[in-house]
């Protein structure tokens, strides 16, 4: 393979010029970046590479912030719950919060902006029944109802940027100043952000790409009184709140938001919640503001002849790369962290930017790069996991972060990344921006739709959670599957119908969540449209508790389509006859290992003899299919990510759409292998996703088949 | 032990006189009964024993029934669901039902008495939009909404008593006539039931006890078109329905019931459903009627100088032994089938009768009594299981059913039952009708309360169900525990408060069921009364999904009391800090084996550091305790029946009430042993519940302790 160059970004640092040149050469890097805690020295900036510079808009300027403490960012917090045992109750509302991070807002009138909630009745407490002791941070409720629980929803000022706080505390930075986040919605801060950037661009002529990290509002990250994480929502709009924002919202939308609209019982409108109209309005309001203000900054960057890149994280809230207003920002690029296939697609699918970049793992930090550890293990896992998705929709660039000097000490790692970067460029060039072959078009259906593309079931940026991995596996599987994937919301279906080109709808998640849909399923129009879609030949794949909302004698509102329902206890008196697995079934034709449904779902039973049971154990169904008109419903109890489960999902998709005879095109029989074809460039790739050599039958676009052997993790390119 | 006699009922049969005498002697029987398919011959009736004769009120009189087919019993049935794919839809509503059991009622106006439901909207279809084709048993719906599901709720006549039908089909009785159930609410049937009994009493002078099997209405038991069980609800009021009943209901209650009030989405008001006001009214209506009519028959029995005994089963619906009207029937006795401790207490706790009798297992039928099988195994299991409960509240009599001649062929079985009958009489005499020592008073709280004492979680008379055993174990454990057990409904608490003498409240069951309570928990008065109760020193033990109803940021409405809640996905963003099991805890002090929580409940987490975690595995809590004022909440994820779990429940009860220092009174350390004390008769019994010899420390009423050895299943009696 001829040595190639480009599309790779490296961190660099001081006193590392020659090694930087060497690494640039080996990895073919054409861009250099700074990292948290490092700055690029001038001699490095002079190298033949683009220079990325991290830029913080709304923190890191304490000289300004300290003079404008009234423009600090704000948040609504919910106090702990206090049970009244007599008719007065005291709520020490700051208890459990970190006084160095947040301080109660006593500037604005508490009676106007705070709310005391009776959580037992669900009603706010009358304003004249409570008072605030500002010295003690205590709310006293009078005329309390004994044994009701009370909370205070109170406004705070945010005194410390949570990312800097986390690094500060973790790395013991001692008396290093706490970076105060200010709110560009406020007049002085808005001006400052603009003026500072103008000057900064002048002061940093070598910077080619301004890497915004990020814009204005950090995702919600609240610490407890022991300075440990208390609440983290990577999607949370918590830090966007301010009195000014709420007043402007009221002006624009004609109604006033209550604190409870933000606090939401202490759930703070997690993406797992079926969103309220108020919260959707509020998100829209924030997005419009962020797009406008960020657009102004990006315009300044362009005026200075530089590119603007946004880091997808930290202060990304309100940018919503899949939202309506994102293109208005005018960004050149987005860079984000790649944990696997779904997080890669989350970046690479972002519309309206010139290029995307993924920061791969491991970060060059001492927690991985220490003597005796092999950083290649994490690198290989990360690369192979993400590569599947790259084959579908490549990032335009890849990169690494941390201390290059650390990585340099691990020659095997340097060798491995050299292969990775070469392989990345080979993939990129072979695909050449063309659309890969997609056997079918799949819509993932939930409350969020396109806005949260590739973002379902994510807590704290796709960490493993017991409650999510059995659903998130579906996204991870799809991220590298030869299917066209779109994200559809219930409102999309209600407002515009099911798009004609959709072959299969997937609905996955736990009952009551925004991903399953909760009470959205009580909408007759929604269920009848999906029934019609399947009846006329579409496919419906339900994972976990699809269409779950107990009504009319059904828990799954599409039980008629799926052929299964969940026994809640109410129909135990009805005999359940159907418990036999089908001896052979398309869905498990190539299954060699036992099934793994992850957390699964209990008490699923078949409604009739028509239900084709694919797996029955422990007195319940975990896999089944059911004919419905010309289409089918397929039920899967859970789908943790694995190559076998990816294959199961692929089979479910084809089977549900009644197109199982079309599955074996650009297809590898061995579940550890996949085939990606690019008709526009007349190329195809046979990929071994595993680290071991594999033998597989490979089917071309006409269904012709040949046996092939692949080395561990090999990609075999061919021409049509 | 001196040979004792009495309190035992045996079946007998023809040509078995001498053996009957021998068996009466060996087992000390003082009563003889016939069985299904046997009649007592005159020479047996002449023996020195009471004679029980099975009596059917509302079936077995086809000569009458055939002449009054218009007085057949009726039922509401729900058709299968049919999806409209255009604007007319045909519903073949008898599909799936057994034409020999039920026939549509075309006598009464369908438009008046039937209902066509749009199950997708939940609304009934307008009367002018549907028609019935009586020849084809088809309802045609016009102006149907495509892809809505439709059902028909239709009235049928019941043509065949389901118990006789079951026996008929199972035993292949060929052209033996089908016994037609008639409805004593109808004029001719009411007269007939009365007159026939008067004559029957004259014709059967040797009968001492009329064993009603039972009165008027069979529990709901519906067969499918293959003559297999389709729906069985041992508590179901399905067969009580008739046009006449519905008309009389309307007159008495001032409103009309809809078919849907009975059909209930096809759940037919299972006891797992939170009962509607309409259904409670209807039950009350039926109970009053049954008590009145049954009372008239019982009076006739008494006038003839005989005793009236009711079989708790078959046509028992509406008698409700724990209901308000049951004492009005004036029965002398109730007899029922004993499957274990809870079903024993279900019989022995019945108030207002002179005596109770339990029919023990095995039934003397060929399915158990065949060559090569040892019927002692089932007998021993049944006896030891039920004996615990007998020690708390004994039946007054025990008995057996089936063919005595079959049992006679198994001498070891005869020996074993001889020991059982002697032991029963010894227990009975030692207790002498006195109240056993109860350490604490426990209330089982659910929607049904007293009315369904010992009847929670039962499907088809306490068969094992995957969805119930983890809860039913709680009842079985309590049935033999030295605690006073009462059953309390939510309405009891709302109307009359928590009785002063209750120490501990137990709430157990799956979310949304009548046993957990569903939306009953949204009542502020309910939760605040229970919070106050615990705060002031009471105990609350929650099993499974106690107080579950998602509201105000909590799934468990008593999460504050329990110190745990269930993660539904909405609060994944909140850090869960508390996952450490307490190294030592009262709740698991004597636990030697691993825990068995049965089906358990997923995703339970601790709310604060105050929660004492007893068991944590698989990322979730299954056992915990939490202080709340002077009392405590205890959480258990599930409690399948076992001696170890009985001990865990006992510990939970004492710990929740803060009375753990009082537990070791009349107590055995070894979980396989229990101590029962009878202060009024100054006796106590140390019981080995296991079949093997056991060593145990035994504590008397002052807490003094001694070590003892017991033989397998031994009861060691002592005097105070």
pLDDT at A105: 97
Distance, in Å, from the CA atom of A172 to the CA atom of A158, rounded to the nearest integer, reads 21
Answer yes or no: do B467 and A228 touch at CB < 8 A.
no
Using CA coordinates, name the residue in chain A closest to B264.
A553
- Chain B residues in contact with A574 by the CB 8 A cut-off are 230-231, 266
Q: How far is B181 from chain A (nearest CA, A)?
A: 22
**Closest by CA position to A137, among listed A80, A178, A177, A56:** A80
Q: Is A579 on the interface with B (CB under 8 A)?
A: no
Q: How far is B216 from chain A (nearest CA, A)?
A: 21
Q: Is A497 on the interface with B (CB under 8 A)?
A: no
Alpha carbon distance, N-terminus to C-terminus of chain B: 20
Q: Are strands A548-551 and A504-509 parallel, antiparallel or unpaired?
A: unpaired
Answer yes or no: do B524 and A120 touch at CB < 8 A.
yes
Alpha helices per DSSP H over B437-486: 469-479
Mapped onto helix, strand or coil, the DSSP state of residue B647 is helix
Answer yes or no: do B146 and A528 touch at CB < 8 A.
yes
Asked if residues A438 and B591 have their Cβ atoms less than 8 Å apart, the reply is no
pLDDT at A381: 93
In this complex, the residue of B122, B228, B574 whose CB is nearest that of residue A551 is B122
Cis peptide before A362 (omega within 30 of 0): yes
Q: Is B570 on the interface with A (CB under 8 A)?
A: yes
Residues 6+ apart with CB under 8 A from B495: none
pLDDT at A2: 61
Answer yes or no: do A573 and B231 touch at CB < 8 A.
yes
Asked if residues B369 and B347 have their Cβ atoms less than 8 Å apart, the reply is no
Q: How confident is the model at residue A327 (pLDDT cuts 50, 70, 90)?
A: very high
Answer yes or no: do A147 and B535 touch at CB < 8 A.
yes
In this complex, the residue of A230, A267, A531 whose CB is nearest that of residue B575 is A230
Q: How far is A43 from chain B (nearest CA, A)?
A: 44
Q: Is B554 on the interface with A (CB under 8 A)?
A: yes
Mean pLDDT of A626-633: 98
A191-219 per-position pLDDT tens digit: 999 999 999 999 999 999 999 998 999 99
* Residue among A34, A118, A161, A314 flagged as catalytic: A314
Average pLDDT along chain B, 720 residues, taken 10 residues at a time: 84 91 95 84 91 92 94 97 97 97 97 98 97 97 97 97 90 91 96 96 95 94 95 96 98 97 98 98 98 98 98 96 97 96 97 96 92 94 95 97 93 96 96 94 98 94 90 97 97 97 98 98 98 98 98 98 98 96 93 93 97 97 98 98 97 98 96 96 96 96 95 95
Answer yes or no: do B459 and A572 touch at CB < 8 A.
yes
Answer yes or no: do B553 and A468 touch at CB < 8 A.
no
Q: How far is B566 from chain A (nearest CA, A)?
A: 11
Q: How far is A35 from chain B (nearest CA, A)?
A: 27
- Chain B residues in contact with A509 by the CB 8 A cut-off are 569
- Chain B residues in contact with A75 by the CB 8 A cut-off are none
Q: How far is A148 from chain B (nearest CA, A)?
A: 6
Mapped onto helix, strand or coil, the DSSP state of residue B245 is helix
pLDDT at A1: 52
Mean pLDDT of A651-674: 97
pLDDT at B1: 52
* Residue among B314, B422, B503, B565 flagged as catalytic: B314
Distance, in Å, from the CA atom of A89 to the CA atom of B266, rounded to the nearest integer, reads 47
Answer yes or no: do B570 and A272 touch at CB < 8 A.
yes
Answer yes or no: do B513 and A121 touch at CB < 8 A.
no
Answer yes or no: do B575 and A231 touch at CB < 8 A.
yes
How many CB contacts within 8 angstroms connect chain A with chain B? 175
Locate tokens 């990577």: which residue?
A234
Mean pLDDT of A709-719: 96
Residues 6+ apart with CB under 8 A from A495: none
A356-368 per-position pLDDT tens digit: 999 999 999 888 9
Please give the radius of gyration of chain B, using alpha carbons only, rounded to the nearest integer. Answer: 27
Element containing residue A163 per DSSP (H, E): helix A162-170
Asked if residues B570 and A273 have their Cβ atoms less than 8 Å apart, the reply is yes
Q: Is B83 on the interface with A (CB under 8 A)?
A: yes
**Closest by CA position to B118, among listed B89, B92, B94:** B89
Q: Is A531 on the interface with B (CB under 8 A)?
A: yes
Using CA coordinates, name the residue in chain A closest to B457.
A569
B410-464 per-position pLDDT tens digit: 999 999 999 999 999 999 999 989 999 999 999 999 999 999 999 999 988 778 9
In this complex, the residue of A266, A575, A577 whose CB is nearest that of residue B553 is A266
| Local structure of residue A150 (DSSP, 8 states) | E
**Helix-strand-coil split of chain A, %, nearest 5:** 30, 25, 45
Chain mean pLDDT for chain A? 96
Distance, in Å, from the CA atom of B674 to the CA atom of B689, rounded to the nearest integer, reads 7
Distance, in Å, from the CA atom of B403 to the CA atom of B40, rounded to the nearest integer, reads 11
Distance, in Å, from the CA atom of A200 to the CA atom of A301, rounded to the nearest integer, reads 10
Alpha helices per DSSP H over B305-410: 326-329, 341-348, 375-392, 404-408
**Closest by CA position to B539, among listed B583, B516, B507, B565:** B507
In this complex, the residue of A119, A147, A567 whose CB is nearest that of residue B552 is A119
pLDDT at A171: 83
pLDDT at A575: 95
B314 among known catalytic residues: yes
In this complex, the residue of A147, A148, A552 whose CB is nearest that of residue B265 is A552
Tell me the whole-structure pTM to 2 decimals: 0.96
The two tokens of residue B117 are 């439901």
pLDDT at B4: 85
Instruction: Bin B328: left if φ > 0, else alpha if -120 < ψ < 50, else beta.
Output: alpha
Mutation for B interface: A152, A279, A573, A576, most B CBs within 10 A: A573
pLDDT at B130: 98
**Closest by CA position to B504, among listed B677, B393, B632, B610:** B632
Answer yes or no: do A531 and B83 touch at CB < 8 A.
yes
Mapped onto helix, strand or coil, the DSSP state of residue B409 is coil
A418-447 per-position pLDDT tens digit: 999 999 999 999 998 999 999 999 999 999
In this complex, the residue of A122, A550, A552 whose CB is nearest that of residue B552 is A122
In this complex, the residue of B268, B466, B568 whose CB is nearest that of residue A619 is B466
Residues 271-300 in B contacting A (C-alpha not used; CB under 8 Å): 272-273
Element containing residue A624 per DSSP (H, E): strand A620-628
Residues 6+ apart with CB under 8 A from A172: none
Cis peptide before A243 (omega within 30 of 0): no
A2-28 per-position pLDDT tens digit: 678 999 999 998 889 999 999 999 999
Using CA coordinates, name the residue in chain A closest to B274.
A570
């Amino acid at each position: 393979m001829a040595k190639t160059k480009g599309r790779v970004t490296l961190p660099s640092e001081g006193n590392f010029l020659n090694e930087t040149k060497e690494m640039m050469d080996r990895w073919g890097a054409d861009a250099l970046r700074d990292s948290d805690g490092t700055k690029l020295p001038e001699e490095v900036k002079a190298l033949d590479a683009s220079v990325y510079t991290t830029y913080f808009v709304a923190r890191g300027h304490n000289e300004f912030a300290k003079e404008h403490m009234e423009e600090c960012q704000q948040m609504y917090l919910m106090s702990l719950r206090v049970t009244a045992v007599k008719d007065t109750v005291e709520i020490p509302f700051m208890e459990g919060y970190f006084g160095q991070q947040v301080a109660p807002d006593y500037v604005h009138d508490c009676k106007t902006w705070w709310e005391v909630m009776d959580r037992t009745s669900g009603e706010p407490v009358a304003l004249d029944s409570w008072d605030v002791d500002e010295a003690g941070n205590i709310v006293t409720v009078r005329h309390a109802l004994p044994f009701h629980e009370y909370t205070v929803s109170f406004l705070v000022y945010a005194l410390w940027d949570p990312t800097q706080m986390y690094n500060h505390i973790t790395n013991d930075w001692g008396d290093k100043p706490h970076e105060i986040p200010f709110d560009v919605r406020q007049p002085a801060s808005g001006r400052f952000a603009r003026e500072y950037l103008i000057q900064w661009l002048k002061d940093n002529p070598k910077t080619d790409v301004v890497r915004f990290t990020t814009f204005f509002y950090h995702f919600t990250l609240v610490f407890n009184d022991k300075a440990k994480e208390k609440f983290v929502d990577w999607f949370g709009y918590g830090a966007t709140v301010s009195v000014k924002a709420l007043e402007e919202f009221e002006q624009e939308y004609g109604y006033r938001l209550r604190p409870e609209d933000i606090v939401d019982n202490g759930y703070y409108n997690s993406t797992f919640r079926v969103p309220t109209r108020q919260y959707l309005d509020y998100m829209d309001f924030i997005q419009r503001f962020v797009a406008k203000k960020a657009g102004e900054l990006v315009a300044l960057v362009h005026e200075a002849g530089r590119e603007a890149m946004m880091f997808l994280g930290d202060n990304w809230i309100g940018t919503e790369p899949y939202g309506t207003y994102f293109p208005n920002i005018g960004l050149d690029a987005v860079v984000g962290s790649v944990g696997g296939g779904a997080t890669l697609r989350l970046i690479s699918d972002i519309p309206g930017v010139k290029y995307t970049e993924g920061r791969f793992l491991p970060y060059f930090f001492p927690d991985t790069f220490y003597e005796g550890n092999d950083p290649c293990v994490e690198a290989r896992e990360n690369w192979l996991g993400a590569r599947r998705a790259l084959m579908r929709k490549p990032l335009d660039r890849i990169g690494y972060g941390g201390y290059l000097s650390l990585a340099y000490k691990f020659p095997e790692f340097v060798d491995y990344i050299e292969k990775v970067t070469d392989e990345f460029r080979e993939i990129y060039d072979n695909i050449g921006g063309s659309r890969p072959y997609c056997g079918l078009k799949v819509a993932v259906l939930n409350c969020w739709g396109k806005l949260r593309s590739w973002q379902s079931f994510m807590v704290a940026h796709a960490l493993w959670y017991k409650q999510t991995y059995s659903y998130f596996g579906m996204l991870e599987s799809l991220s590298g599957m030869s299917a066209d994937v779109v994200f559809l919301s219930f409102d999309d279906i209600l407002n515009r119908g099911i798009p004609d080109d959709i072959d299969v709808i997937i609905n996955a998640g736990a009952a009551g969540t925004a991903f399953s849909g909760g009470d959205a399923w009580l909408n007759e129009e929604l269920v009848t449209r999906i029934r019609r879609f399947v009846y006329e030949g579409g496919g419906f794949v339900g994972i976990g508790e699809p269409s779950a909302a107990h009504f009319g004698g059904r828990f799954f509102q599409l039980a008629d389509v799926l052929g299964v329902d969940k026994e809640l206890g109410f129909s135990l008196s009805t005999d359940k006859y159907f418990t036999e697995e089908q001896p052979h079934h398309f869905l498990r034709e190539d299954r060699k290992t036992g099934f793994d449904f992850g957390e699964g779902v209990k008490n699923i039973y078949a409604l009739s003899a028509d239900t084709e049971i694919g797996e029955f154990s422990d007195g319940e169904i975990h896999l089944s299919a059911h004919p419905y008109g010309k289409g089918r419903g397929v039920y899967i109890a859970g789908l943790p990510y694995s190559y076998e489960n990816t294959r199961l999902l692929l089979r479910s998709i084809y089977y549900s759409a009644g197109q199982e005879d079309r599955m074996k095109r650009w297809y590898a029989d061995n579940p550890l292998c996949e085939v990606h074809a690019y008709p526009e460039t007349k190329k195809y790739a046979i990929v071994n996703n595993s680290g071991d050599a594999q033998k597989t039958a490979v089917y071309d676009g006409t269904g012709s088949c040949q046996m092939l052997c692949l080395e561990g993790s090999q990609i075999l390119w061919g021409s049509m």
